[in-house]
Amino acid sequence: MKSLPIVLIFISCGFFETKNNTNEPLFLAAKDAGFLKDEFVQEDIKKLNRKIVSEKYIESLMVGRTAVAVSEVEGYYKKNKNEFKRLGDEALVLMFEGQDKSGAIKIKNILDRNNFDSERVSKTIQKHSPRRMFLEKRDLRVDFSERVFKKTGGSFIVKRSNGFVVFYTINIFKMGTLKELVDVSDGIQVKILALKKYKLKQTIKDSLYILYGTNYK
């Protein structure tokens, strides 16, 4: 008869009763096996630690040194408008989530019977704080897409496991139309900020290499 695998022997000896409460079981297993004493592993750990400390230090030097002005976002938008053309039909919708059946019907009736910019609709939006989002037609199921893109100002109710959701189509946009600056400004800001941080990090690294190069003692 073949001997039991090592892992089964551990189980029979109550190994997991004492070890399974940790959040780092793989690390403890490697430690128990003496893996940390391996000289190659130790050298890799040292390199990793130095890299972490270096990156954290550079990050500390960058704090408060990068920002994006409104004019920069506007300038990027104007120079790169082709980047913001819609690749397919899109609809801007409101999603009133987590409603019970009567609440969903009430919201739908208010949306259907009043102009979107009316005081009653405004109060309903303030009360329920619906999510505002763009839906791309190509990403939706056919039956759902037909309801979303049926008409501007249309609403419908969908039943979900956690309640009912009221969808309201604010506007419909055709493929190739330009997205408004207000709808893409956050993305532009993130992109510009990332580029600025990258350039600043390289500048800091270059200056530190000069001060602490191979001749530094």
Q: What is the pLDDT of residues 144-185, one digit of tens each?
A: 999 999 999 999 999 998 899 999 999 999 999 999 999 999
C-alpha–C-alpha distance, residues 59 and 69, integer Å: 21
Residues 6 or more apart from 194 whose CB is under 8 A from it?
none
- Give the contacts of 200 (CB within 8 A, at least 6 positions apart): 62, 65, 66
Encoded amino acid at 161, one letter: S
Least confident window among 17-31, 89-103, 151-165: 17-31
Q: Domains (ranges, CATH) in the chain?
A: 1-37 (no CATH), 39-85+181-217 (no CATH), 86-173 (3.10.50.40)
Cα angle vertex 172, ends 167, 176, to 5°?
140
Give the H/E segment covering residue 23: none
Query: Please, what is the Cα angle at 59 between 54 and 60, to 5 degrees?
Result: 100
What is the model's pLDDT at position 97? 96
If one counts every other C-beta atom within 10 angstroms of the C-beta of residue 169, the result is 21
pLDDT of residue 53: 94
What is the CA 9 to chain-centroid distance, rounded? Answer: 44
SS (H, E, C) 9-42: HHHHCCHHHHHCCCCCHHHHHHHHCCHHHCHHHH
What's the confidence (pLDDT) of residue 215? 54
Hey, what's the torsion of the CAs at 144, 185, 88, 176, to 10 degrees? 140
- For residue 98, what are the contacts with CB-CB under 8 A and spacing of at least 6? 162, 163, 165
How far apart, in Å, do the first and last CA atoms of the chain sit? 64
Higher-confidence position of 39 and 188: 188
Q: What is the pLDDT of residues 52-78, one digit of tens each?
A: 999 999 999 999 999 999 999 999 999
Instruction: Kindly tell me the burial class for residue 167, based on how many C-beta atoms sit within 10 Å of its own C-beta (0-12, 13-18, 19 or more).
Output: buried
Residue 214 in this model has a pLDDT that exceeds 80: no
Question: Is pLDDT at 108 greater than 60 in this prediction?
Answer: yes
> How far is the C-alpha of 4 from the C-alpha of 121, rounded, in Å?
70
pLDDT at 7 over 50: no
Q: How confident is the model at residue 20 (pLDDT cuts 50, 70, 90)?
A: low
Residue 94 pairs in a beta bridge with: 132, 168
For position 191, what pLDDT does the model report? 96
Determine the pLDDT at residue 130.
Answer: 97
Provide the β-strand partners of residue 33: none
